[in-house]
Amino acid sequence: MLTKAPSLTWAEVDLEAIAANTRAVKRWVGDRVEVIAVVKANAYGHGAVPVARAALSAGASRLAVHRIAEGIALRRAGLEAPILVMAPLLPEEAPEAVRWGLTPTLSMPEAAQALSAAARAAGRILPVHVEVDTGMGRAGLLPAEVLPFLRALQDMDGLSLEGLYTHFATADESDPSFAMRQLRRFEEVIGTLEAAGIRIPLRHAANSAATMRFRAAHFEAVRPGLALYGMRPSREWDPPFPLRPALTLKSRVIRVWTLAPGESVGYGRTFVAHREARMALVPIGYGDGYLRVLSNRGAVLIRGQRAPIRGRVSMDQIVVEVTGIPEVRVGDEVVILGRQGSEEIRAEDLAEWAGTINYEITTLISPRVPRLYRSGETLRPEGAPAEAAPSPFAIP
């Protein structure tokens, strides 16, 4: 039983799993291909700074985030690796991008000019990347726009064109044909640039799925997120190397009671007991990122067994049925996501129950849930010194 918990509900992130997954990706792509660790959205909910450190120590050489503010947070924490910001840069963001030495993605002339001016004013040369929209239909320049844009960039001081990239829309799907079409379009753009005498040192395209499936998409760097967290890109095929899920979401039982026949649980009375049932209250709800759509659908692990959710998920709590686990007591540890004994609930399971994707399951874990970082047997909050002993969060 848990005697000193950090909070009613908390997440444990296994940094050795992040490192092992990063090493597995690095082994898969080989020495000549760089790994850009995608740590946007708080590293898919795992905590950007500790995850970035673990990935860099295990073979990643660069980081990628979506927004300037995410890059600044990593710099403030002392991370010095190159940080690619994948959102198209806005002109007004240029001074901050230069000040924090971030690597912006450029796709409009006004932003390029503003960045050039900011870099010149600071006496710096800033590496930049350009994204090509080969079929994702989201961000980036269309293939025909790339050459004129890069020609214009060549005339701007303070900028150095380091990278060209694209992003796949369907790399996770069994049918590779659209991904291959995107790859061909990307290669055509590269061919056009080379014919015009423009060589780009760092070309990258592959998310986790494409890293695993399409060697031709590795170029000089791959850009995985999901795989680093030990999550699977697809239900349709198995990853070619083992992945270790890095995040466990835990809570504990705070009430146990008997529900009489005819009595109900929660808002809307969506669960009514037909016979006497033992119920347990667990303090996790949609305010923690536990999706309300899991009402009457999800399950948790207590004493190594599955306990189904009864009634609606509230903001702060759920009720689970423990009739089949009579030993359950107040204080028992509850695993919402992760392994307990021989049972496991993966992000992929929660995603299936909720009709969504594993990315959303971990990314939505809210700031109210403290993250603790596991290294061997020790668990500590972000930033706590390694020698802090004994940890107030130790689980006896």
Ligand X SMILES: Cc1ncc(COP(=O)(O)O)c(C=O)c1O
Contact residues for ligand X, defined by CB under 6 A = 38, 86, 167, 207-209, 223-227, 233
Q: What residues pair up with 338 in beta bridges, in sequence order?
A: 345
Of 47 and 233, nearer to ligand X (C-beta) is: 233
Structure tokens at 340: 């307990």
In this complex, which beta carbon is closest to ligand X, that of residue 230 or of residue 233? 233
**What is the C-alpha separation between 282 and 284, in angstroms, rounded?**
6
Q: CA nearest 65: which of 45, 93, 84, 44?
A: 84
Give Cα separations from 182 to 31, 132, 161, 185 (angstroms). Answer: 25, 10, 22, 5
Give the active site residue among 165, 250, 267, 373: 267
To ligand X, the closest distance from the beta carbon of 38 in angstroms equals: 4
Element (H, E) at 20: helix 15-29
Question: Closest approach of Cβ 86 to ligand X, in Å?
Answer: 5
- For the CB of residue 35, give the shortest distance to ligand X in the complex, in Å: 11
Residue 302 phi/psi, 5-degree rounding, is: -135, 135
Instruction: Please tell me which residue in 26, 40, 44, 165 is annotated as part of the active site.
Output: 40
Least separation in angstroms between residue 178's CB and ligand X is 16
Largest CA distance in the chain: 79
Q: Which residue in 247, 321, 323 sits closest to 282, CA to CA?
A: 321
315 in a labelled binding site: yes
**Cis peptide bond prior to 390, omega within 30° of 0:** yes
Nearest residue to 10 (alpha-carbon basis) of 384, 396, 379, 280:
379
Q: Toward ligand X, which CB reaches closer, 225 or 311? A: 225
Active site residue 26: no
Q: At what angle do helices 109-122 and 143-154 cross, to 10 degrees?
A: 30
**H or E, element range at 365:** none
Least CB distance to ligand X at residue 284 (A): 25
Give the residue at shortest CB distance from ligand X.
225
Encoded tokens for 374: 């596991």
Nearer to ligand X, 248 or 358 (CB): 358
Considering the complex, state which of residue 86 and residue 146 has its C-beta at the smaller distance from ligand X.
86
Annotation-wise, does 138 bind a ligand?
yes
Q: Which residues are annotated as a binding site for substrate?
A: 138, 315
Q: Annotated active-site positions, please? A: 40, 267
